[in-house]
Structure 1
Amino acid sequence: MSSQPIKLDENSSDEDHDESQSGEIEEAGDAVDTGVIEEPNEAKSGRKRKSRVWDFFAEVEVKEKGKMVPKVQCMHCKKKYKHVSRGPTTTLKRHIESKCPKIRQMQGKTQGVINFEPQENVSLPVGLCGVYDPMKNREIMARMIIAHELPFAFVEYTWFNHLMKYNNPAFQPVSRFTIRNECIKVFESDRDEIKKLFRNTSRISLTSDCWTSNTTVGYMSLTTHYVDAEWKLQKRIISFIDLSPPHSGQVLADGILECIMKWSIQDKIGSITLDNASNNDRAATILMSNFQERGKLHFDGLFFHVKCCAHILNLVVQDGLSVIKDCLIKIREGVKYLRKSPGKLFQFGEIAIGLGIQTKRSLCCDVKTRWNSTHRMIESALHYRSTFHQYAERDPNFEWELNDDEWASASAVCKFLEVFLDATNIFSGTLYPTSNLFLVEIFNVKKVICDAYGSSNEFLRTMSEPMFQKFEKYWGEVGILMAIASILDPRYKLVSVEYAFKELYPAYEVEERIKEVTNKLKKLHLKYAKERVTCKAAASTSSMSAADALVEPSERSQNQEIFKAFLKARVGEKSTKSDLETYLEEPIFDEEEQAEGTFDVLLWWSQNCSKFPILSKLARDVLCIPITTVASESTFSAGGRILDDYRSSLTKDMVELLVCGGDWMRTEITAKSKKSTILTLQQAAKAEENLNVEVPIKNPSTI
């Protein structure tokens, strides 16, 4: 961290002192007898020297022409100047501020201090000028409280105040009541800024989900998704409200409507993504009817209600896992049996080492409702398969040993579920578009299920049968949204639809379904084209109306005649192709030209928006539609941390402030610093722990 040059700001009446008259001599090391350095004395008048230059200079005597002459010497570079007992010290100031090489060198070496580079748009309590602003400091403390989910009483901690006072003696402690009020001010300020962003956003998509706290109070989270002016996908949690039971479709719809009316975005909603539940379906129907009556149902209602793909995948996989539930119970109970006793776990680890198995892999226990954790549990059990067999022979109380057929089934299931795991991870992204990736991934899922359904392996065939039925129930017909979004990805275009539909539908239906998708895409494109013309005409009329007041009638008539002549000249011109037709005729984008995993579909459209002005706007609005509710579900983790057993009495407004405000701040800081997500206090504590229980090995010296 570079330092600023030293400035000696003294209120002195000293006049400028000409350096040429100062008697400057050569530096130490030349053939000059410098004499002995002495401490600076007070002036002969007895008045104590107040100038700061004497912190850098000392009085010395130098032999010149056989006489000892008093001089002043820089303590750093040993340069000497004429002795100044009384009068101006301008030359000495100039030496300290700009001429001394040793001082400049020390300013460039700031060792042992972490270099916190200032971030854009992030105000610091102490600027480069060194001015301390207590109100700005209080604001930053409030942001720290919200972003890291700290208690308000944190500002009253003794050692926190000691630290702040040590860093700046001007720091004044504040109470938890003061910082709570400051948090409210910060939240309201950030909310106003987000509202300004929403005013410049053409289309907003929503995700919503419900959660019950430890006090049995039901909460609903509402998250917005949109593409900003820089073509970056953004998400903001705008509501975390309590709902009165029962959570019927009408109650959910009323809560969502109240929230979007409060944020004044009721005319911008393009879609809402919900879990697959009957009350959510009812809520979506009510909302769609409301928007349709007001004439604000965008995309002709094609994409309004999106069902969470991750939830449907979970239902499909859970049906398949039900076939091996007895095998899963044995693995789950066996892992629990070993993990609950350190002694048994040590013995298990010794057996693994004896068999040449690495013990760095943990024994995982799953959460029954999360199939991905079940997959992780099966993987870890398969890693220690032979260890389980050896341990069962030594411990007569171990009742959960699997036979060879059960191990074979577990291995087949683990491999079978890998494609589902990959698809879920891709669908769950919140920082990149996901609707354009659905068609390719769901094709892989359908292919795996169909291959297992027609397999000669009786176990796989039995397992895939309920999965196939569930898949056909929800995705027997691929949504129009997924097909159009895939076409709007320049890597796929119509090729992905043609290829996937041939595998997903009977041959006699493929052509008709592809035609249906392209017709709806053309219809949407035409609608966007008409809206663009209408907006241009309105802007032109507005500008002409403003100009009419300044233009004389005769001049106005002359301008109209020129405009009519221009229109007549364009009548004979041939109409050009639409940008949709041009886009579809161009070859697909070659992703191999870029590094794997680096393609950004929004970046591509931002670079080609001038070439496809209408289609790019449609792509912007479609690609911001999420296909899972993961963004809203992640809110409940924050809600669980904030509404713990010690803070369960927080008011609903304060809970919403901490949940939403924390999301805004962490999102903003993470985007600006381009680092991983900022951790809260509990998240940081968990990151420092080894949550996965590693199979331990005894120290040989203690055996």
Structure 2
Amino acid sequence: MDDMEEYTVNDDLRACGLPADDDDDLTAGAEALFGNSVAPINVDAPDAGAGAGGDGVGASATQTPSSTPTTSTANNIVLKRARSGAWNDFEPIFETLPSGKQVRIAAKCRHCNHVLSARSSSGTGHLLRHQTQCVKKAKHAALVQSRIQFNGDGSVTGWQYKPDVARRELCRLISRLDLPLGFGYEEAFEEYIRRAHNPCFSRVSRQTTTRDLEKYFLERRTSLIDSLCSVTSVCLTSDIWSGNAKEDYLSVVAHFVSADWELEKRVIRLRLINCSHNGVNIAERVESVVHEFGLTDKIFVVTLDNASSNSRAMSKLIPKFVGYLGPDPAPLDNVNRENNNALRGLLHQRCACHIINLIVKSGLKRIKSYLEAFRTAITYLNSSNQRIGEFHNYCIVKGVKPRKFGLDMDVRWNSTYLMLKHLIPYKGTFSTFIAANYGLVNGEPLLSEGHWAVAEKIMEFLGIFYESTVALSGVYYPTSPLMLHHILEIACHLHARETDPLLMSILTPMKLKFLKYWQNIPLLYSFAFVLDPRAKMRGFHNILQLLS
């Protein structure tokens, strides 16, 4: 018995499966060695071999996300593999190999959309560095760029600067003002935006602006085509336009009523016309634009100026644009043939403002000598900066507000009226200054009292033509119902001035030009006048009696 060890209470505890008092605490250093991610072992769970997949993982191990790889220890304890925090702000980009396996090749930042290389063997250190800087910039931008926006109803909402919106608006600004493509990269423009509007603004290069313009154009073109699909009829206007680059373009403008019952005007195309401006070339370009936007069967009216090339162009376009008015009926008799010709004539309308300009120009040719004297005087004054300065000082001495005068031009309608309107209030000062500096012409001053009397009479006479041109040049209201009103006013105006001795010489050619275009009232003007609730058939009958 002496050789045997002494039997103690701790031996009884061990026999019962309980920890003895003198045993070492093995769990004390377990967290330091294995971490706190050791999953507890469930003794009630089935054998590890019966688990799904037979990977030696118990029921508790199934709580680990399937997307996270796991490893097994000798004691079947499951540990999570660490995953980089860069993937919280990056979106992986995969490439499919010929074998069908997908391999990660790059990563796209969710904040700035920047793409970085991210192969599995490259690590994520460069992604973490980019993430740190990009998140700081995003937070700073959100803090600095946030603004308070006041709405039209008085409410207040948050506003945040968006670079893509700024670039699109820059494209609109460049297009509307015909600015250089590198305008957004100018240092002065960046300084203005940074100091006055947004401190985080960054310049946009000319190449980027070019790409943005093309993208914006395609978006607007697609949107316009979609909006025109719901339109039943369209009216077109067309003219040739010259840009600053000395290139000629044929503009095609569509006028229609939208689905919201709003009058819309859209420039649908500018086609380069670097060849002869004859009827064949004009018709070819107008037809291509109409076909491009799907409007071949929706054309109701085409309005052009009175050039002979436009008349020849319409003779080729009318057979192709009669889809809206219907096909040609079989002319059984002369009445049907005349009705068909009237409908075809409805499709082609001559520009009313251009007709008014032709009427006025035909009369002003008779008093060209009087108007030439004013043109000579204005040219003499504007030909020297010294003379402009002397006239400026002379006006100040006389207590008159100084101003400059411009010449009239044949291609600018109403320019003669505006030249006389601006010049007549300066009759005394201008006439004295020209007489003192220009000298005499055939023993008489360049501008006599007779010249000013004719100028005042002509300006008063041209007033109604100016008002009609302005009213009929409206954009955001229909002008067809107004045509008969202005035709009647012009006819009465010409009739009332027949006995004026100063105007008798110019009234005859003006009347002939008026009757050439408006002796037979176009059908479009008649239909529009009747459909006007203010006129209807009774008003149309009255206006026909007055015109007769």
TM over 0.5: yes
> Matched residues in 1 for 2:375 and 2:301: separation?
40
The equivalent of 2:489 in structure 1 is 444
Could you say which residue in structure 2 is the equivalent of 1:274? 304
Residue 269 of structure 1: CA displacement? Answer: 1.0
Deviation of residue 162 (structure 1)?
5.2
Equivalent AA in structure 1 for residue 300 of structure 2: G
Taking a change above 3 Å as real, the CA distance of residues 169 and 210 of structure 1, as seen in their structure-2 partners, is: closer
Cα distance per residue 1:362-408 (max 9 Å; x no partner): 53432244351111222233222233443355335364623333322
Partners of 2:300 and 2:324 within 8 A in 1? no
Contact 1:270/1:304, CA 8 A, preserved across alignment: yes
Pairing 1:129-528 to 2, within 5 Å after superposition: 130=160, 133-161=162-190, 173-213=203-243, 216-292=246-322, 296=326, 300-345=343-388, 347-348=390-391, 358-359=400-401, 362-395=404-437, 397=439, 399=441, 401-453=446-498, 455=499, 457-505=500-548
Are the counterparts in 1 of residues 185 and 204 from structure 2 also a CA contact under 8 Å? yes
* Whole-angstrom CA distance in 1 between matches of 2:232 and 2:479: 19
Whole-angstrom CA distance in 1 between matches of 2:216 and 2:361: 44
For the structure 1 residues 186 and 410, does the alpha-carbon distance in structure 2 shift closer, same or farther, using more than 3 Å as the test?
Answer: same
CA distance in 2, matches of 1:426, 1:158: 44
Distance 2:199 2:391 in 1: 58
**Letter of the 2:541 counterpart:** E
Q: Which is greater in Rg? A: 2
Q: Assess if the C-alpha contact under 8 Å between 1:209 and 1:220 holds in 2.
A: yes
Do the aligned partners of residues 160 and 236 (structure 1) sit closer, same or farther apart at CA in structure 2, a change above 3 Å counting? same
Residue type at the aligned position of 2:184: V
Q: Find the aligned partners of 2:294 and 2:308 in 1 and give their Cα distance.
A: 28
SS at match of 2:260: coil
Larger displacement relative to structure 2 (441-450 or 135-144): 135-144
Q: What amino acid is the match of 1:395?
A: N
Q: 1:371 to 1:321 in 2, by over 3 A?
A: farther
Q: Deviations over 1:634-657 (max 9, x none)?
A: xxxxxxxxxxxxxxxxxxxxxxxx
- Kindly provide the amino acid, as one letter, of the partner of residue 434 in structure 1: T
Give the distance between the partners of 1:352 and 1:184, measured in 2 at CA: 51
Residue 186 (structure 1) shift: 1.5
Task: Indicate how the Cα distance of structure 1 residues 297 and 171 shifts in structure 2: closer, same or farther if over 3 A, else same.
Answer: farther
Residues 172-181 or 228-237, more deviating: 172-181
The answer to whether the 8 Å contact 2:299/2:322 transfers is no
Letter paired with 1:277 = A
How far residue 441 of structure 1 moved from its aligned partner, in angstroms, is 0.9
Contact residue 419 and residue 445 of structure 1 kept, 8 A:
yes
Structure 1 residue 223: Cα displacement: 0.4
- Identity across aligned pairs (percent)? 30
| Aligned-partner Cα distance in 2 for 1:173–1:353 | 46
Q: Retained in 2: the 8 A contact 1:267–1:296? A: no
Deviations 1:174-206 (A, max 9, x none): 432122112211111111111121111111100
Q: Matches of 2:434 and 2:183 in 1, distance apart? A: 51
CA distance in 1 between counterparts of 2:528 and 2:158 reads 48
In the alignment, the residues of structure 2 paired with residue 408 and residue 168 of structure 1 have an alpha-carbon distance, to the nearest angstrom, of 59
* 1:527 matched residue in structure 2: none
Q: 1:177 to 1:168 in 2, by over 3 A?
A: same
SS in 1 for 2:469: helix
> CA RMSD, aligned part only?
3.1
Cα distance change on mapping 1:114 and 1:406 into 2, 3 Å: farther
Q: Distance in 1 between matches of 2:163 and 2:390?
A: 59
Q: 1:379 to 1:154 in 2, by over 3 A?
A: closer
Asked if the contact 1:218/1:242 (under 8 Å) is kept, the reply is: yes
- 1:206 aligned counterpart, secondary structure: strand
1:156 partner letter? Y
CA deviation after TM superposition for structure 1 residue 118, in Å: 6.0
What secondary structure sits across from 1:395 in the alignment? helix
**TM-score (normalizing by structure 1):** 0.50
The one-character-per-residue Cα deviations of 1:116-153 (angstroms, maximum 9, x if unpaired) are 64699xxxxxx9375x6544444444344334433222
Contact 2:149 2:158 in 1 (8 A): no
**CA distance change for structure 1 residues 451 and 134 in 2, over 3 Å: closer, same or farther?**
closer
Q: Residue 105 of structure 2 corresponds to which residue in structure 1? A: none
Q: Which amino acid is 2:509 matched to?
A: P
1:323 to 1:354, Cα distance in 2 relative to 1, 3 A? farther
Give the 3-state SS of the residue equivalent to 2:503 in structure 1: helix
The SS at the match of 2:375 is helix
Q: How does 1:39-118 map to 2 (within 5 A)?
A: 117=150
Amino acid at match of 1:429: G
Q: Provide the secondary structure at the position in 1 that maps to 2:366.
A: helix
Q: Which fold has the larger relative contact order, with Cα–Cα distance below 8 Å and residues 6 or more apart in sequence?
A: 1
> What do the CA deviations read for 1:649-688 (whole angstroms, capped 9, x no partner)?
xxxxxxxxxxxxxxxxxxxxxxxxxxxxxxxxxxxxxxxx
Change (3 A) 1:312 1:179: same
Instruction: Pick closer, same or farther for the CA change 1:388–1:189 going to 2, 3 Å.
Output: closer
SS in 2 for 1:367: coil
Q: What amino acid maps onto 1:380 in structure 2?
A: H
Q: Given that residues 253 and 287 in structure 1 are in contact (C-alpha distance below 8 angstroms), is that contact kept between their aligned partners in structure 2?
A: yes
2:270 & 2:508 partners in 1: Cα distance?
40
Matched letter for residue 477 of structure 1:
N
Query: Given the superposition, is the C-alpha separation of residues 220 and 129 from structure 1 closer, same or farther in structure 2, using an over 3 Å criterion?
Result: closer
What is the correspondence of 1:574-653 to structure 2 with a 5 Å cutoff?
Answer: none
More strand by percentage: 2
Quote the Cα distance in structure 2 between the aligned partners of 1:114 and 1:500: 59
Q: Note closer, same or farther for the CA distance 1:498–1:394 as it changes in structure 2 (3 Å cut).
A: same
String of CA shifts for 1:570-613, please: whole Å, max 9, x gaps.
xxxxxxxxxxxxxxxxxxxxxxxxxxxxxxxxxxxxxxxxxxxx
Instruction: For 1:669-684, list aligned pairs within 5 A.
Output: none
1:297/1:186 CA distance change after superposition, 3 Å: farther
Provide the residue aligned with 2:19 in structure 1: none
TM-score w.r.t. the length of structure 2 is 0.63
Q: How many residues align?
A: 383
Q: Which amino acid aligns with 1:242?
A: L
Cα distance in 2 for partners of 1:246, 1:480 equals 32
Q: For 1:270, what is the secondary structure of its paired residue? A: strand
- CA gap of 1:147–1:114, structure 2 versus 1, over 3 A, is farther
Tell which deviates more after alignment, 361-370 or 428-437. 361-370
> Alignment partner of 1:271: what SS?
strand
Paired with 2:440 and 2:231, the residues of 1 have a C-alpha distance of 61
**Deviation at 1:416?**
0.7
